[in-house]
């Protein structure tokens, strides 16, 4: 049985080598197969509670970081001549990175579509125009609610029935916004702002769908 297992393992290794002739190509294959950055940290990292460099870094950051710098349980140490570089995570808020709040981000996306497709936006792309209008109305009339979304979303959330330019669509509000972000990204909208909207949806999309279950006519 051990010989059979070894043979299968070697066959898989040969297959990986044929698909990935270089270490970088092999890494790409592994990422496509599900390898994460956390997996790499766990493999290359050391226990931060026992490593002297990690412990020294923790003490240093605790004194002056205001709790926005942290070291994980396993940390990568890069030794150099007189010491070591210690991997750490620095927390930066959106506004510190110069990114607007979600209402301003959506307003920018809406303006992008109007600039890109005007004149005659409503005639040339009626369904898209209706979705952008829904998005504009949502964030104009519910901006305060959106910025204060909190709590835990229910496990099961029914889809909302939308009517866009006479076409019925059963979907989640968050998914419609995400599709508009993809279209904006492909048509020249700021990539950093696209990522910021996607990040907001990742953390608040289900809450949005749960708290704003309305039938939208557009």
**At a CB cut-off of 8 Å and minimum separation 6, what does 210 contact?**
153, 154, 157
**Residue 128: closest CA among 102, 84, 165, 94:** 165
pLDDT, residue 153, reads 81
Mark the ranges of the chain whose per-residue pLDDT is less than 50.
1-9, 214-218
pLDDT, residue 112, reads 94
User: pLDDT for 126-143, tens place per residue?
Assistant: 999 999 999 998 888 877
**Residue 197: closest CA among 186, 182, 187, 207:** 182
Q: Give dist(CA 6, CA 12) in Å, integer.
A: 10
User: pLDDT for 184-206, tens place per residue?
Assistant: 999 999 999 999 999 999 999 99
**Residue 208: closest CA among 153, 136, 163:** 153
């Amino acid at each position: 049985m051990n010989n059979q297992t070894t043979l299968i393992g070697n066959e898989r290794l040969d297959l990986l080598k044929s698909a990935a002739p270089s270490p970088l190509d092999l890494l790409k294959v592994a990422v496509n197969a599900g390898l994460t950055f956390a997996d790499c940290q766990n493999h290359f990292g050391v226990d931060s509670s026992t490593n002297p460099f990690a412990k020294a870094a923790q003490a240093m950051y605790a004194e002056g970081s205001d709790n926005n710098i942290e070291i994980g349980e396993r940390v990568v140490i890069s030794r150099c001549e007189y010491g070591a570089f210690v991997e750490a995570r620095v927390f930066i808020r959106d506004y510190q990175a110069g990114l607007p709040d979600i209402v301003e981000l959506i307003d920018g996306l809406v303006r992008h579509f109007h600039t890109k497709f005007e004149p005659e936006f409503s005639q040339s792309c009626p369904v898209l125009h209706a979705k952008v209008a829904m998005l504009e109305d949502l964030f104009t009339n519910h901006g305060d609610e959106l910025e204060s979304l909190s709590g835990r979303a229910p496990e099961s959330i029914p889809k909302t029935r939308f009517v866009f330019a006479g076409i019925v669509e059963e979907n989640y509000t968050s998914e419609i916004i995400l599709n508009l972000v993809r279209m904006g990204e492909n048509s020249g909208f700021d990539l950093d702002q696209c990522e910021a909207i996607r990040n907001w949806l990742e953390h608040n999309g289900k809450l949005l769908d749960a708290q704003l279950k309305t039938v939208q006519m557009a």
